[in-house]
Structure 1
Amino acid sequence: MKMEFTKMHALGNDYIVINEFDGEKVKEEEKSYFAKKICRRGFSVGADGVIFVQKPTSDEYDVRFRIFNSDGSEAEMCGNGIRCFSKYVYERIMKKNPLNVETKGGLRVSEMEIEGDEVKKIKVYMGVPKFKLKDIPMVVDGYSEDDEFLNGELELKNPYLPKVKLSVVNVGNPHAVIFVEDNGIDLDFVRKHLDVIGKEIEHHKAFPERINVHFVKVLNPNEIRIITWERGAGYTTACGTGTTASVIIAHKLGKTGNKVLAHLDGGDLEIEIKDDGVYMIGDAVIVYDAKLINIGW
Structure 2
Amino acid sequence: MTRPFLKMNGLGNDFVVVDARQTGFSPTPDQVRAWGKRDGGVGFDQLISIESADGNDAFMRVWNSDGSTVETCGNALRCVTWVLDKDSPNSELTIDTLGGATTARMLETSASDGIASVDMGKPRLEWSHIPLSEEMNTERLELQVGPIDAPLYHTPVAVSMGNPHVVFFVDDITTVDVERTGSLIEHHPLFPEGVNVEFAQIIDRNTIRMRVWERGAGITKACGTGACATLVAAARRGLTDRHAHVIMDGGPLHILWRSDDHVIMTGPVALEFEGTLNG
Question: Sequence identity, in percent?
Answer: 33
Residues 1:125 and 2:119 are matched in the alignment: yes
Residues 1:103 and 2:88 are matched in the alignment: no
Q: Which residue of 2 aligns with 1:291?
A: 276
Decide whether aligned partners of structure 1 residues 175 and 45 sit closer, same or farther in structure 2, where only a CA change above 3 A counts. Answer: same
| In structure 2, distance between residues paired with 1:123 and 1:78 | 14
| In structure 1, distance between residues paired with 2:223 and 2:153 | 24
Q: Which residue of 2 aligns with 1:46?
A: 43
Flag structure 1 segments of 5+ consecutive residues without an equivalent.
none
| In structure 1, distance between residues paired with 2:243 and 2:152 | 33
| In structure 1, distance between residues paired with 2:90 and 2:6 | 20
Q: Which residue of 2 aligns with 1:225?
A: 209
- How far does residue 174 in structure 1 lie from its aligned partner after superposition? 0.7
Q: Which residue of 1 aligns with 2:3?
A: 3
Residues 1:247 and 2:244 are matched in the alignment: no
- How far does residue 153 in structure 1 lie from its aligned partner after superposition? 2.9
Do the aligned partners of 1:175 and 1:245 also contact (CA within 8 Å) in 2? yes
| In structure 1, distance between residues paired with 2:228 and 2:39 | 31
Partner SS state of residue 153, structure 1: coil
| In structure 2, distance between residues paired with 1:156 and 1:168 | 15
Residue of structure 1 aligned with 2:257, choices 255, 273, 277: 273
Residue of structure 2 aligned with 1:62, choices 54, 57, 61: 57
Decide whether aligned partners of structure 1 residues 165 and 116 sit closer, same or farther in structure 2, where only a CA change above 3 A counts. Answer: closer
Do the aligned partners of 1:158 and 1:197 also contact (CA within 8 Å) in 2? no
Do the aligned partners of 1:113 and 1:119 also contact (CA within 8 Å) in 2? no
Do the aligned partners of 2:144 and 2:155 also contact (CA within 8 Å) in 1? no
Structure-2-length-normalised TM-score? 0.93
Name the Cα RMSD after superposition.
Answer: 2.0
Letter aligned with residue 239 of structure 1: C
| In structure 1, distance between residues paired with 2:118 and 2:46 | 20
Letter aligned with residue 21 of structure 2: F
Residues 1:166 and 2:150 are matched in the alignment: no
Structure-1-length-normalised TM-score? 0.88
- How far does residue 187 in structure 1 lie from its aligned partner after superposition? 1.3
| In structure 2, distance between residues paired with 1:21 and 1:95 | 17
Do the aligned partners of 2:8 and 2:269 also contact (CA within 8 Å) in 1? yes
Residues 141-199 of structure 1 show CA distances to partners (whole Å, capped at 9, x for unaligned) of: xxx3xx53213331446999566221101111110000003xxxx21221xx2221110
Residues 93-138 of structure 1 show CA distances to partners (whole Å, capped at 9, x for unaligned) of: 4343210011111110001114577762111001001111110111
